[in-house]
Structure formats: C-alpha cells, structure tokens
C-alpha cells in the first residue's frame, strides 16, 4: 500500500522560504569596502607584488620592506586602513560569488593599464 505524504501549509511555506533563502546572496556589511573599490585595491596590490618581484632583491626581508612601503601608498591612495581592508578581504573570500566578480574586475583593470601604458606584465 502506498502512502501519500501531505504537509501542512505552514511546513510547506517554511520549506519554500528556506529554499529561496539559500539562493539569495548575503549582502555585505555596511563597513565592507565596495566591490569596485576592492577590485581597484587588489589590482594595485598585484601590480605592487609584480614590481617587487621584478626588483629581484637578494633577501626576503628587503622585498617585504619594499612591498610594505608600496602597500602603505595603496592604503593612502584608496583612503583605506589595514583593518578595513582585512575585514573586507575576509568577507569576500568567504563569499565566492562576490570574489569572482571582484577578480573579473581586477583582470579588466590590469588589462586596461597594460593597454594604456603599452606594457606587458
């Protein structure tokens, strides 16, 4: 004998709401850096890393010192402090849908700079 399972309307509504909630994106907290700005910061960071690696400094300490100076310039340029950047980065890395969009913008940003300056990184 087959049994047919009937769910009360309230249970069905709760299940439907839970399924819809799984599909929606979690909104970033208000103090998180916006996606476009985060993409610009990350592009600058990657370019700074590239500059440091091209210097071919003998010691890792020297490379770290140069990179730290470049990073301070990046924070100043974008008017961001280290803590806000780290909190934003932590949020975005735990939400791949955001990070994917951000890195698409990072790639476009770097490609545009390459074309503008006629360089290959």
Q: Which of residues 11 and 120 earns the better pLDDT score?
A: 120
**In this structure, are residues 102 and 36 in contact, taking their beta carbons and an 8 Å threshold?**
no
Who contacts 85 (Cβ-Cβ below 8 Å, separation ≥6)? 33, 41, 75
Would the pLDDT of 8 be above 70?
no
Helix (H, G, I), strand (E, B) or coil at 113: helix
- Three-point CA angle 59, 62, 66, nearest 5°: 145
Better pLDDT: 69 or 13? 69
What is the C-alpha separation between 100 and 98, in angstroms, rounded?
Answer: 5
Q: Please identify which residue in the block is written with the tokens 């924070």.
A: 75
What element of type H or E holds 99? helix 96-117
pLDDT tens-digit profile of 16-58? 445 444 445 678 888 999 999 999 999 999 999 999 988 988 8
Best CA proximity match to 31, nearest among 78, 91, 76, 75: 91
Tell me the average pLDDT across 55-73: 91
The answer, yes or no, to whether residue 76 has pLDDT greater than 80, is yes
Q: Give me the half-sphere count of Cα atoms (radius 13 Å) on the Cβ side of residue 32.
A: 19
- Per-residue pLDDT at 9: 57
pTM: 0.74
């Amino acid at each position: 004998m087959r049994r047919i399972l009937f769910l009360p309307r309230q249970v069905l509504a709760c299940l439907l709401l839970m399924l819809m909630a799984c599909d929606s994106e979690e909104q970033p907290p208000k103090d998180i850096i916006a996606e476009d700005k985060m993409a610009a910061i990350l592009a600058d960071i990657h370019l700074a890393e590239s500059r440091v690696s091209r210097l071919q400094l003998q010691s890792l300490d020297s490379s770290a010192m140069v990179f730290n100076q470049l990073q301070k310039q990046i924070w100043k340029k974008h008017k961001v402090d280290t803590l806000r950047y780290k909190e934003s980065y932590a949020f975005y890395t735990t939400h791949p849908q955001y990070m994917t969009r951000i890195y698409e913008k990072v790639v476009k940003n770097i490609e545009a700079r390459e074309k503008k300056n006629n360089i290959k990184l």
